[in-house]
Amino acid sequence: MSVRICLALAIVALFAGSKTFANESPQTDAPAQMRCAPPVASLVIRNVTAIDFRGERPDMTENVSIFIADGRIVGILPQGEPDPATPEMVFDGTGLTVIPGLHDMHVHIWDQTELAANLMHGVTTVRNMSGMPFHLRLAEQLEAGALCGPHLLTAGPILNSKGPDSQIYHQIVETGEDAHAAVQQQHALGFRRLKVYSNLSAEAYHAAREEAHRLGMVVTGHVPEGGRSFDETGRPRFALNLAEVVGDGFETIEHVEAIAWHGLEGALDYAAARMLARQIATSKVPVTPTLIAHLNLVEVAQSGGAYAYRSGVETLPPLAQVVAAPSIARWASEQALPERKKHEFYIQFTRILDEEGVPIVAGSDAGIFTNVPGASLLDELELLAVALASPFKAIKAATATPAEILGHAGEAGCLAEGCAADLVLYRCNPLMDINCLRLPEAVIMRGKLFDADQLRGDTGLRALALDHDNERTFSNILEGFAAQGYPITPQQLGEALGGVAP
């Protein structure tokens, strides 16, 4: 059964029993409960410990007051200093530690509920790595305050060629002409970030990169293989050499396991890994390891599938859960031990990349498989704290480093005068215990404060994260298919499946 038919089945199943959507346009208005109240004009956080992550070691200052106005930090003063102005709101931060808001550099947003889930966990910026037109609208609504959620950056539809890793929602191109046209189409739709994928042919990749650079678009994603074959021993061979491609100006390259597969031809070889890390470091391209994405596969295998239904997965939209079901079934029957050995190698490979000077940024692949929005980034940071032997380095990979890579140095991912007031407060110090990140006491987003009850209470962000809407999700996704040249309705999909009507 093709992946396109599998998704059709998922759509029909989830639309069953609902009203008709044949002529319904994508939903753009936010439900009232998703809209954010405007922030107060000015806010002061009193008597906190503040940590900035921009240097080689933490810059920690105790007993300070942080003054916020119009969504920015306007002053950080020792406790007891006179206020520069009378604040509209005062929050007592005695005993709390504040850090910049977290970045998740690799997510897949299926619906706006995931935005609330991310913010609930202290994630204040996400980079969506598989875009559709509704993501552009969401980004505008978030910045306008019409939705509660983090800053949203998005790539366009994943650009790929046919192959073992091609998927239903990828934009498939084979020739240079196809690739030029696809990149132009994405740019015309409003995307400024191009994500390339593993199976992309050499001809299509070179054309896409050329067109993206001409249009001023950022290129990121998997390092394309250009074509895959296997020698007589079963070892993979690739038409495009990873070490050469990473010099092509990628914003980041994704997934340490994909880098090991491509650059090391699947071998778990530490000496070769160090040589490859040195080549990547020369290009200065950052890596998003997404260690948790592979570990979650291992955990599903280890548990015979039970891990896929752990607490927290309910914040994944129903579509994401249905689409993941075949992969969950497959991994539930896999042998866990060989994959756990790979996981240990990926941990050490990430350490080697860091030791050789490769910038590391944190990403979770949330929205794919059983990677829970928001919580998976905290899982990733715990793994990075082990891989990099430093909670400081792990948190820097989710704050200062991604802000710099995204061109926001001094404006985001920092805790100083002039920085964005996107902050997270904890009752413990995450430098002493990375698990501290699990339970924010408060989040400040665009200068608006969400206290513990607003984060996790019955009417807070958690409630928004669980307020799934299949109608909205599918309207947006069908619009995405249409934008790629697949103008279909749920009814047409049902007819293709033998007359089953949604």
Give the model confidence (pLDDT) of 224-246 as tens digits: 999 999 998 889 999 999 988 99
> Does some domain include residue 472?
no
Mean pLDDT of 473-493: 74
With contact defined as beta carbons under 8 Å apart, do 52 and 58 qualify?
yes
Q: Is the pLDDT of residue 493 over 60?
A: no
% of the chain surpassing 90 pLDDT:
77
When pLDDT is cut at 50, 70 and 90, the band that residue 41 belongs to is confident
Mean pLDDT of 178-201: 97
> Does some domain include residue 442?
no
When pLDDT is cut at 50, 70 and 90, the band that residue 500 belongs to is very low
Q: Is the pLDDT of residue 25 over 90?
A: no
When pLDDT is cut at 50, 70 and 90, the band that residue 494 belongs to is very low
With contact defined as beta carbons under 8 Å apart, do 12 and 490 qualify?
yes
Is the C-alpha dihedral spanning 377, 379, 380, 386 positive or negative? positive
What per-residue confidence (pLDDT) applies to 313? Answer: 96
Q: Which amino acid is at 279?
A: Q
With contact defined as beta carbons under 8 Å apart, do 397 and 361 qualify?
yes
What per-residue confidence (pLDDT) applies to 477? Answer: 84
Q: Supply the DSSP symbol for 57.
A: S
Q: Containing H/E element for 322?
A: helix 318-332
Query: Quick one: tokens of 226?
Result: 């250009």
Residue keyed to tokens 């007891």: 80
Overall number of domains in the chain: 1
Cα dist. 232→50, 194, 236, 238 in Å? Answer: 58, 36, 10, 14
Q: Which amino acid is at 2?
A: S
Mean pLDDT of 477-497: 66
CA dihedral 315, 318, 324, 328 (to 10 degrees): 70
Mean pLDDT of 433-460: 95
Q: Containing H/E element for 425?
A: strand 423-426
Q: Is the pLDDT of residue 36 over 90?
A: no
With contact defined as beta carbons under 8 Å apart, do 114 and 465 qualify?
yes
> Does some domain include residue 498?
no
Q: How far apart are CA 140 and CA 163, in angstroms?
A: 35
Q: Where are the beta strands (DSSP E) in 129-211?
A: 151-154, 159-160, 171-172, 193-196
> Does some domain include residue 1?
no
What per-residue confidence (pLDDT) applies to 23? Answer: 38
With contact defined as beta carbons under 8 Å apart, do 150 and 123 qualify?
yes
Is the C-alpha dihedral spanning 469, 470, 471, 477 positive or negative? positive
Q: Is the pLDDT of residue 292 over 90?
A: yes
When pLDDT is cut at 50, 70 and 90, the band that residue 16 belongs to is very low
> Does some domain include residue 212?
yes
Mean pLDDT of 275-304: 97
Q: How far apart are CA 150 and CA 142, in angstroms?
A: 7
Mean pLDDT of 475-495: 71
Q: Which amino acid is at 11?
A: I
Burial of 347 (0-12, 13-18, 19+ CB in 10 A): buried
Q: 114-153, pLDDT tens digit by residue?
A: 999 999 999 999 999 999 999 999 999 999 989 999 999 9
Mean pLDDT of 479-490: 74
Determine which of 129-143, 323-337, 382-396, 467-481 has the lowest per-residue pLDDT on average. 467-481
Q: 342-354, pLDDT tens digit by residue?
A: 999 999 999 999 9
Mean pLDDT of 478-487: 79
When pLDDT is cut at 50, 70 and 90, the band that residue 30 belongs to is low
Mean pLDDT of 13-24: 42
Q: How far apart are CA 77 and CA 366, in angstroms?
A: 37
When pLDDT is cut at 50, 70 and 90, the band that residue 437 belongs to is very high
> Does some domain include residue 235?
yes
What per-residue confidence (pLDDT) applies to 490? Answer: 62
Mean pLDDT of 421-450: 97
Q: What is the mean pLDDT of the chain?
A: 90
> Does some domain include residue 169?
yes
> Does some domain include residue 181?
yes
Q: What residue numbers bound the domain in which 163 lies?
A: 159-217+228-240
Task: Please tell me the pTM assigned to this model.
Answer: 0.93
What per-residue confidence (pLDDT) applies to 498? Answer: 41
What per-residue confidence (pLDDT) applies to 219? Answer: 98
Q: Is the pLDDT of residue 487 over 70?
A: no
Q: Supply the DSSP symbol for 55.
A: S
What per-residue confidence (pLDDT) applies to 33? Answer: 56
% of the chain surpassing 70 pLDDT:
90
Q: How far apart are CA 400 and CA 355, in angstroms?
A: 18
With contact defined as beta carbons under 8 Å apart, do 372 and 312 qualify?
yes
Cα dist. 12→4, 74, 367, 476, 484 in Å? Answer: 12, 52, 20, 15, 21
With contact defined as beta carbons under 8 Å apart, do 146 and 35 qualify?
yes
Mean pLDDT of 386-404: 98
Using DSSP, state whether 63 is helix, strand or coil: strand
What per-residue confidence (pLDDT) applies to 2? Answer: 42
What per-residue confidence (pLDDT) applies to 243? Answer: 86
Residue keyed to tokens 């599998």: 6
Determine which of 75-79, 132-136, 296-300, 441-445 has the lowest per-residue pLDDT on average. 75-79
Q: Is the pLDDT of residue 21 over 50?
A: no
Q: Is the pLDDT of residue 56 over 50?
A: yes
Q: Which residue has the higher pLDDT, 475 or 377?
A: 377
